[in-house]
Amino acid sequence: MTDTDNSSIPERKRGSGVKMVYDLLRDEILDLVLPPGSPIDEAQLAERFKMSRTPIREALVRLAGEGLIDTLPNRSTMVSNIDFINMNTYFDALVLMYRVTTRLAAQHHRTEDLQVIRARQAEFAAAVQAQDALAMIATNAALHLAIAEAGRNSYFTGLFKRLLDEGRRILRLYYQSYDDRLPQRFVDEHEDMIAAIAARDAEEADRLARVHAEQIVHQIQMLFSRDRRLDIAL
């Protein structure tokens, strides 16, 4: 698994290595390619990327800043665990952000925003049709971020993006539990939300977003209460 051919990229630009390592590790962690608890070895990464430990270290510091890896002083560093204990508090925050961003979108969107939103919705529907779990996660996030953008509050958008990223691992578990048979229902709910936004009905948009979010959260909670094996596996 360590024999990825990187001999084809012998030349790197100064300063690009950190970002490359950071992005790659981040994706691998969030997509559960590196499951929680996986050891992160600096020397190994240094060899793999043909660079010194210094830039590797910088990437790891950034990942640690986002809470994606845990570093015990002078000892090993590993992929951080998914916090199942505080999961409900996370979901509360997620529901709130769903509501707020959708409500603001209904209030402040412009006509051109709707085109972007509908395009994202079409992509999500396509992912659902194709039964591609990873694409569903990505396009769903893109759709809701497009809605958030239409709300014209960059701060909320940033918070929301952060929140979605943090939950990506949980969503990954959720969607893969579906075995890629998937919820057409989400597509319909999205359609209703978009309609409410277009009608500038803030209250209805808020309500629909709440129902939509709580429904997803409820299903995820069902999954984790039904299937305790996941706790052991991680």
Residue 25 Cβ vs DNA, minimum distance, rounded to whole Å:
13
Is position 90 an interface residue for a second copy (rule: CB under 8 A)?
yes
Which of 28, 42, 58, 192 touches a second copy by CB under 8 A?
A: 58
**Options 12-20, 125-133, 184-192, 220-228: segment touching DNA (CB under 7 A):** 12-20
Beta-bridge mates of residue 70: 78
- Tell me, residue by residue from 156 to 195, as one string, x for binding to a second copy by CB under 8 A and - for no binding: x--x------------------------------------
DSSP secondary structure letter of residue 172 = H
Q: Is 152 helix (H, G, I), strand (E, B) or coil?
A: coil
State the binding partner of 142 from DNA, a second copy, none, CB within 5 to 8 A by kind: none
Q: What values do phi and psi take at 74, rounded to 5?
A: 65, 0
Beta-bridge mates of residue 169: none
Region of 32 please: left (phi>0), alpha (psi -120 to 50) or beta.
left
Residue 33 Cβ vs a second copy, minimum distance, rounded to whole Å:
23
**Residues near a second copy (CB under 8 A), total:** 24
Of 44-63, binders to DNA (CB under 7 A) are: 50-55, 57-58
DSSP for 61-130, please give it: HHHHHTTSEEE-TTS-EEEPPP-STTHHHHHHHHHHHHHHHHHHHHHH--HHHHHHHHHHHHHHHHHHHH
Is position 10 an interface residue for a second copy (rule: CB under 8 A)?
no
Query: Which stretches of the chain bind DNA, using CB under 7 A?
Result: 13-18, 40-43, 50-55, 57-58, 71, 73-77
